[in-house]
Amino acid sequence: MEVPHSVVDFIRDALKEDIGPGDITTSFLIPEESESRAIFIAKVNFVLAGLPFAREVFRILNPSAVFRMFQKEGASVSKGDVLAEVFGKTQVILSGERVSLNILQRLCGISTLTSMYVDRIKGLKARIVDTRKTSPCQRFMEKYAVRMGGGDNHRFGLFDGIMIKDNHIKAVGSIQKAVELAKRSHHLLKIEVEVENLQDLEDAIEAGADIVMLDNMSLTDIREAVKVTQGRVLLEASGGVNLENVREIAETGVDLISVGALTHSAPAADISLKIIE
């Protein structure tokens, strides 16, 4: 996988933040000519995501560093599994250790949590999708991790999808007016409208929305929304979704279930980097 320039820039900034003018401990202790081999080890079970970005850390520090992956992205790994190895200058390995682990642990946590949600709704038509509730400047990586966990990506940003939310509707005056303006401005993109009740759902459908987000609706209302919609639009359930209720939400018949927790609340996976030579 080719790492986007935006991610490369982010990793460069992360390294600058961590190393600053120089890794003083490593430079004091380790001769410049010293070379080592280090391995990434899983300390718990999780779904793997992020090795290409960990590799980029060492490539930026020293293009001659050799990074070998032993597991596939999206694979379920077990405690004790060796994920990858890096061979090169010892100073480079030690200076890149924390940034590479921070990225890898974060992304594996996201992919693992996503896989748990996907597993909970197995056999049903609904799909688990992410949101824009991501860490600043890490959206590409975090949404990548969602895909590795078996989830799907919602819009990437404000530029690649029309989503009319409550504040848009208040600013414009009505759902009908908001959809009309969106259709007039861009006829090629699908239009999604956020609604909070069944009346607004009907208004959104009549206005010509393609997708309707049911925001924080009760299960009873979600079931009624599916019933009255009869496939005229895609339905997305959002708000208050957790591992305990996600299957019940999926059983209503909605098409999409968006979960902000995938990226804003995923616990980091436990991974270590150990020099072996």
pLDDT given at position 116: 98
- Annotated active-site residue 194? The verdict is yes
Q: Are 14 and 99 in contact (CB under 8 A)?
A: yes
Q: Which residue blocks in 20-174 are alpha helix, DSSP H?
A: 24-29, 51-61, 90-120, 139-148, 166-172
Under the banding of pLDDT at 50, 70 and 90, the label for residue 46 is very high
The one catalytic residue in 165, 183, 190, 223 is 165
The one catalytic residue in 37, 98, 190, 223 is 98
pLDDT given at position 188: 81
Query: What digits encode the pLDDT tens for the residues 97-122?
Result: 999 999 999 999 999 999 999 999 99
Q: What is the number of alpha carbons within 13 Å of residue 64 lying toward its C-beta?
A: 7
Element housing 5 (H / E): helix 5-19
How far apart CA 2 and CA 135 sit, in angstroms, is: 21
Question: At the topology level of CATH, where does 5-116+266-275 sit?
Answer: Aldehyde Oxidoreductase; domain 3 (3.90.1170)
The one catalytic residue in 133, 147, 190, 247 is 133
pLDDT over 70, % of the chain: 100
The two domains 5-116+266-275 and 119-264 share their CATH topology (first three levels equal): no
pLDDT-wise least confident of 84-98, 173-187, 233-247: 173-187
- Annotated active-site residue 152? The verdict is no
Under the banding of pLDDT at 50, 70 and 90, the label for residue 143 is very high
* pLDDT of 186 over the 90 cut: no
Query: What digits encode the pLDDT tens for the residues 197-228?
Result: 999 999 999 999 999 999 999 999 999 999 99
Please provide the size of the chain in residues. Answer: 277
* Positive/negative CA dihedral, 226, 236, 198, 242: positive
pLDDT given at position 273: 98
- Annotated active-site residue 43? The verdict is no
> What pTM does this model have?
0.96
How far apart CA 165 and CA 27 sit, in angstroms, is: 53
* pLDDT of 277 over the 80 cut: no
Residue 239 CB contacts under 8 Å (≥ 6 apart), including other chains: 215, 216, 217
* Positive/negative CA dihedral, 69, 71, 72, 74: negative
How far apart CA 33 and CA 197 sit, in angstroms, is: 67
Q: Are 47 and 76 in contact (CB under 8 A)?
A: yes
Domain extents in the chain = 5-116+266-275, 119-264
Q: Does domain 119-264 have CATH number 3.90.600.10?
A: no
The one catalytic residue in 73, 97, 215, 236 is 215
- Name beta bridge partners: 192: 163, 211
The one catalytic residue in 142, 194, 200, 236 is 194
